[in-house]
Amino acid sequence: MPTTVQKWGNSLGIRIPSQIAEAIALRQGTEVDLIVGDDHTLIVVPAKKKPTLEQLLAQCKPENRHDEMEFGVEGKELL
């Protein structure tokens, strides 16, 4: 489906037809990644959401944790 690149402030913008947006679940405000292919193609994909700290910590299991290690004091460090 052809579309036209247009000036948008100091940038360029591409309008995504609603049928295409619906097919890949794009909504206003959806973050996307732009990828330039080797053959000068432009690929637009929904950005992967970065996990929150809570989600990362939920993956920590007791078997993944280690005990504190004592390295001693060396030099003039203040503890």
Which pLDDT tens digit goes with each residue over 40-72? 999 988 888 888 999 998 888 888 788 888 877
Express as a percent the part of the chain with pLDDT over 70: 96
CA separation, residue 3 to residues 15, 18, 62, 65, 77 (Å): 7, 12, 53, 53, 64
Class of domain 5-63: mainly beta
pLDDT at 79: 59
